[in-house]
Amino acid sequence: MSSQLHVFKFGGASVKDAAAVRNVAHIIQHYQQGPLVVVISAMGKTTNALEMIHEKRFQGEDYAQPLQTILAFHTAIADDLLLTAADMQGFDQQWESLQTVLASPIAGSYDQAYDQIVSYGELLSTALVHGYLTASGIGSTWLDVRRLICTDARHRDARVDWELSSSRAAAIAQSMEPNSIFIVQGFIGSTAQGLTTTLGREGSDFTAAIMAFLFDAATVTIWKDVPGMLNADPKWFDNTVKLDSISFREAIELAYYGASVIHPKTIKPLQNKGIPLYIKSFIHPEEAGSIIQENTSSDHLVPSYIFKGNQDLVSFIPKDFSFIVEDNLREIFGTLSEIGIRVNLMENSAISFSICIDTDTYKRGLLFEAMRGHYAIRYNEGLTLITVRHWDDQTLAQLTAGRDVLLEQKSRQTVRMVVR
């Protein structure tokens, strides 16, 4: 594959309505510099709506109204774009496929059933965008990314089979021309047996990195509604600063700690092949944005702040008052792995082990049920996890003013605090 291939990724906000879809088409047409793979997320809040449908379906409740709302939302966008029945053929096929899945008996676990339903957000959005590109005279190929990305069967957080995925990509690469445009879905993949999987919420960024790795792309650009990678979320801070350039290493740290602009898994495949990642504004596409690459010289220049809300702090205390030792940790982490709970922060003392996790009442219930036989469990909910990179004492004092700090960990470059 030519090194001139590029990967674009557009999130839900960039395709939330007809005007946004037109803007995506404009960017694709004017910023294409060779073969292009375009990764697109579900439109607007469709993923949330499909999650609601999955929950209702799993509980045996009626989901006709939210399903109709999803159809009306996409149809309104299509009407605004003046799409014909021919333009909507791909969308209609995906909608019919979703109806078939919903009408079928629920098979497998809660998470397996989740993947089969929620994946349609991306399938519907890419079909609609492809229809609009075709209607606008922009030649493109709609590609089911499940033909490319092969994963294990770890539903809702699937792991990529890089070897098999690479062999699949090699076959597709042979058909790419200098002006080829491939429209693919973010967030989803499939097992070797063809069962749909998902890569974790916000996994479309990761999909873009996978595409770049598989096709040896020259660059990846993630198009956002912000001017680039900021040192803090504008929802929490008024005076944010754009990070013009940071290293892969710093980006991995920030993403791991929860920086919302990029998915935690995104950076590593790009770092392995030295593929630069650009974060640019789809509102002002002509602006430079931010670049993530090898050079580390600018990493320390601007402090970064990461706030993760909806956190639980859970403590396990052995009922026999024994010490927390390796056997306890193996048992606890084994259970966390089986349920699919990610630990955001951990700390142990002689007789307790505490973890900070994302609030998920269903998975939390499974965890407590599995562990309460051997441990007394204490937990606080409604908390916030604050991470500061390149901190100073004055900043920490400002961030903790009026807050109750339940747990704090500090190193030379990073401070992490669970606060209420």
- Hey, where are the domains in the chain? 6-224, 304-419
Tell me the residue type at 309: G
- In CATH, what is the architecture of 304-419? 2-Layer Sandwich (3.30)
What's the rounded Cα separation, in Å, for the pair 42 and 120? 8
Q: What does the pLDDT look like over 166-194, one tens digit per residue?
A: 999 999 998 888 889 999 999 999 999 99
pLDDT in tens, 17-46: 999 999 999 999 998 888 999 999 999 999
The average pLDDT across 139-164 equals 96
pLDDT digits (tens, 9 = 90+) for 306-336: 999 999 999 999 998 788 899 999 999 999 9
The region, left, alpha or beta by phi > 0 then psi within -120 to 50, assigned to residue 136 is alpha
The pLDDT score that the predictor gives to residue 2 is 44
Model-level pTM greater than 0.85? no
Give residue 3's pLDDT band: very low, low, confident or very high (50, 70, 90). very low
CATH class of segment(s) 6-224: alpha beta
Exposed, middle or buried by CB within 10 Å (0-12, 13-18, 19+), for 3? exposed
Neighbours of 227 (CB within 10 A): 17
- Hey, what are 159's tokens? 């792991």
